[in-house]
Amino acid sequence: MNFSDLGLSPKVLEAITAAGYTTPTTIQAEAIPHALMRKDVLGLAQTGSGKTAAFVLPMLTLLEKGRARARMPRTLILEPTRELAAQVHEAFETLGKQHKLTVALLIGGVAFEPQAAKINRGADVVIATPGRLLDHMERGGLLLTGIEMLVIDEADRMLDMGFIPDIEKICKLLPFTRQTMFFSATMPPEIHRLTTQFLHNPVRIEASAPSSTAASIEQYLVKVPHDATQKRDALRMLLRTQTQVKNGIVFANRKTTVALLEKSLRKHGFSVGALHGDMDQSARLKMLAAFRNNEVTYLIASDVAARGLDIPEVSHVFNFDVPIHAEDYVHRVGRTGRAGREGHAFTMVTREEAKYLRAIEVLIKKEIPYFDIGTVEDSGEAPEKEHRAPRGGRKPSHHREKPAAREHAAIVPAVARPVVEYPVAEKPVPQARPPRQQEQRRARPERELEDAPESGGFHKGNMPAFLQRK
């Protein structure tokens, strides 16, 4: 099947040829004809299956007739993240070169006024994140009564990010006669409820089994120590074993871990950049451009930051942490092996993360084999400062441990926790305690001693005299 068989306009077909597309993907071939007939579409497809073109191409064809009015856009596309919204905007610029359509991008992190000015002039297409769209509506600068087509993309991520109440609010303000296209990689109960509420007799399209990974992706597990420093050592060893890396994304569960990994890998000579939720929009776009242009080999990212990234030729994905939610594994791995290309995915697993791994293998209905990277070598890298501050009111020491000391500490395991010193009063420490107090002291759990207040409390003779009365 070719794009010319799908009913698209000559202008769109010309743009497709210029962009270098030849054969439609499964989701495109099945969704586009129904979209052109103004039917509601429920599309279930894994990441990288070509969902963006599945709604951009028919939308361009349908919008060739008609004209936008001020503050009343004709079509609305909702995206969960700024990055994905910006990528859909780029798709309209690439595929809509033959059209004179006004496309407004409404996302946070950029100036509000230019967005409002474009809407006031009249926008055929509005691409927005839910929060920024509601901001424009509440200020009275945007009316949704003229919407002919609604696209809700990455609906399962909308759910994860807490956007479902906003989606419901927006949908209730749209005309009942609108056409709706709904795309998601998974179908949890809340998303199913949303589809039954806002879609009318939709055509259900499953381009692949829900919550599955592409067959073109080679997936492996790597056993690693739980110790954070040794785990980073293992990551560097793993990266060095992969000599065919064109570019790769390293996923971590926390923003703090993203920062630590970037610092560690950069220190050891790797070409890295970071992408996380605390970055402003200009910094995000700059980092994504550097990664796309191969100026950066490895992109360290969190799930929220990397969701929906359209980087077609990512060769490798590395999961530094096993994702807590099994569906996130599908999305992470889906960053590679896009459009039928060969991909490689490695997941580092500690003993404590085994329960998350089992849930992933149940979800994808596949047992993932192990990959041996050899014995983890100690790099002498200082561990991150996640331990508690010293007791006794003393300020933490900022001096660095000598290399020899670090090496010894890495080799010799700790046998017992060091004795914690508490400040004592000037008066002499009583030599004996009442038998009952001694018994209570011995029965106290060790954990309770660890959690004792920094001031020392009543330990070691600081108990007031009135409490010592018999």
List, for residues 190-208, the tens digit of each pLDDT value: 888 989 999 999 999 987 6
pLDDT score recorded for residue 272: 95
Inter-residue contact 441 to 460 (CB < 8 Å)? no
Instruction: Provide CATH code, domain 3-206.
Output: 3.40.50.300
One-letter amino acid of 184: S
**pLDDT of the residue at 422:** 39
pLDDT at 20: 82
Q: pLDDT at position 304, please?
A: 66
Burial 30-39 (b: 16+ CB within 10 A, else e): bbbbbbbeeb
pLDDT at 399: 41
Residues of the chain with pLDDT under 50: 379-380, 382-430, 437-461, 467, 470
How far, in Å, CA of 307 to CA of 343, rounded? 18
User: Each residue of 212-256: pLDDT tens digit?
Assistant: 787 889 999 999 998 999 999 999 999 999 988 999 999 999 889
Q: Within 13 Å and on the Cβ side, how many CA atoms surround 97?
A: 9
> Structure tokens of 456?
């020392």
Q: How high is the pLDDT of residue 210?
A: 57
State the CATH architecture for 217-364.
3-Layer(aba) Sandwich (3.40)
Q: Is 383 left (phi over 0), alpha (psi -120 to 50) or beta?
A: beta
Comparing 3-206 with 217-364, is the CATH topology the same?
Answer: yes
Domain limits, the chain: 3-206, 217-364, 423-465
